[in-house]
Structure 1
Amino acid sequence: MTDSLSLLPNRRALHVDVQRYGARESELAIALIDLDGFKLVNDQYGHNVGDQVIKNCAKMLSDLCGQDARCYRLGGDEFAISMNGSLAGTIVEGISRSFIDLFKRPITVDDRRIVLGASIGISSSKGEDRQNSSELLRRSDVAMYASKRNGKMRCTWYQPEFDRNREAAQKIDSDMRQALANDEFYVLYQPLVCAQTSKIVAVESLLRWARPDGEPIGPDVFIPIAEETGLINPIGLKVLRQACRDALAWPDITLSVNISPAQLRDVEFPIQLGQILEETGFPAERLELEITETCLVLDPILAERTLDVIRGFGVNISLDDFGTGYASIGFLRMFRFEKLKLDRSLVVDAGDDEGSRAMMVSSISVARALNMAVTAEGVETQQQADLVRTAGCDQIQGWLYFKALPPEEITHHLNQQNFQDSNLKLIG
């Protein structure tokens, strides 16, 4: 009952061990571990390197467990820990957190620095309600996916509401598949204005879902589910195609489209992007893809290669939500973004806090030094607009100027803007 690659006990051994544990009044705890980014290792470096990574991780986990707990390889990039005793849950959680901490540094395999993460779910039971190994594994699996949804690199204890949330997520997933077939998704556009003239210079496409029952559900709810289930790829391509078609009617402005980490990890995405540009006839130089720092962290090398292919079409790349995550000056230098978008939280805090204001100003200075344009997001007051304009932002986006609008309203505003420009030229 040993896994041949890692030499750890296997899944069957876990079930046997749990059956052997006695003293039902003592606590039984099981942690389920999934490596974040392991598929990319196999895709990029091959299975020989992937196998060595598994061996290294097995050794790391075994050393942490020592004599206190037992660890297993369940298959693929999944591991588990089990323990029985009065402090089982506390000890298993401590081992889990220590294991996650080890991934704050890359794993070295054949002079390659492999960046991985770990998402962990933990469950336990004791007494008359003590669950069997299959149920505890299921609960730990549910908790592990909660760790992934909440940003990865963390461990999460199972809660009964997770099952209810999972049922709701499965319902949304099913509804999304039907919505994709029934063309229920549509695109709105929020203008970005020039900081100096307040004229519309770009629009950002924003996905919306018109449910037949009229029940509102925001993209912050359904997009993470789409990313988890793989639906984000067909939905994202639909948004990109529709946005390119709509923006053909707005020849003087830039079109910005958000790309999820899952899309950027898809090796087919650059090919699909090229096909959409050719199919719609949209000028590549007018298209700007917005990505977040999450797209870059797990595999910077793969991300850099993908972005290089995309830039080869003439498409620009913007770093979205800057100031909320991992991005460093080193990242900005590596990826050579054409634009930096300051997150709303940085803009809001800059109005009341000198430290946040200094951070915003320094971010703009770095962007300038690297020949990046800068946009301030989430501007809702005139005070904020004046602040980011004085700090040197090129563009401003927010409700102070425009909310998300349907394409016909974008056309109306641009026509008005062009009419005013024409009149000014005549007067001049």
Structure 2
Amino acid sequence: MSDALTPPEHAEGEDQPKVFVSYSRKDREKAHRISKVLADRNLGIFRDTEDILPTEEWRDRLEQLIREADTIIFLLSPASAASEVCAWEIELAHELEKRIAPIVIEDVPGQDIPPILARLNFIFCTDRDPFEDAVDSVISAVNTDIDWIREHTRLAGLARRWRQSGERRSLLLRGADIADAERWRDERPREAPQITADQTKFITESRRNAQRQQKLTLALSLAAVVVGLGLAGIAFWQRNEAQAQRNVAEAQRNDALTAQSLYLADLSQEALARGDTTMAILSAIEALPDTTSTDPQQRSRPYVAAARMALTEAMSERRELHTLGFPSPTSSADAEFSPDGKRILSSDFSQAVLFDAQTGKQIAALRFPWQERLLQHPFLARRRTDYSHVSRCKRRRCRHMGRPDRRSS
């Protein structure tokens, strides 16, 4: 019969081999003695201590401990050989490909030995055998290829959890664990337990899943490259399209400016034909590009040869000796010579400036805020009869200044 279970007698460390001791309750004293010695020799021991009925709950717990054990020690005696529970334990261990170490604690007739144990090497620990020699043999058997055995236990647990979950891919091995498991599978020691079908399938599916992941990653990477190239192509096309549109817009702008320059060149020719060289020069200058201008359009204006020719012709007809620097360049001003021809008076609504006619230098300036004060100036009161009008001005500005019509003077 089988008994109840307790945790290991000594709390095992991570490096302790885990041993499950299977025995009959009739052999409890010998089982306790052997378990205590093995625990003192740094083995983690699972063993039975109390009689209980073989219920389903008990079997589940017992199966869990057998699965977690690295080695199953079977204490062989007439009582354990006849025990149904002990037979179930040893059959489960054999099914799980656990390493089984049978210890003979009492002679058993050959026909009564379970077939699973009959083909194994026995360790004798009867009353007539040296106890310490038997313990040393058990320790040696348990520690043989212990690293490979531990991995056997670990992979068996992982494979069982994977199978019970419905073979979920998330529970498969990944990365370097796959290579380690394959190396463990391929380097099985000659005397070690067989690798179970679940372990083999678990390792194989882990490798297949890794290959699928690699192919998926490669496909996604290639897709990302294709998408990136496509986006780059679209961006390149859009850039070229935008550049082409900018070129068209700039060509249209240049055509418009060229047309404007030709029109200004024509105006310059017309002004020159009327004898207005100043207007001819100004129109021709405006039709030419000016790199020093603050107006971007004037700086980038296309060069028109007709405008240059108009400027050259107008400059050849120029009669002015000096250009007067009126303090307010945005104003439209009148200019008058003094009776002796030595002075020039130029004025607008806000000020009057007196220039030297020979040098063009400013002599004096008179500022006033409104037109009435300008008209009351003594010097300007005589301009009706004493001054000759020498500057071309706009009729409405002259009328606003109060200058009399020459036909009435």
TM-score if structure 1 supplies the norm length?
0.21
Higher normalized contact order (CA 8 Å, seq sep 6+, divided by chain length): 1
Q: Which has the larger radius of gyration?
A: 2
TM-score if structure 2 supplies the norm length?
0.22
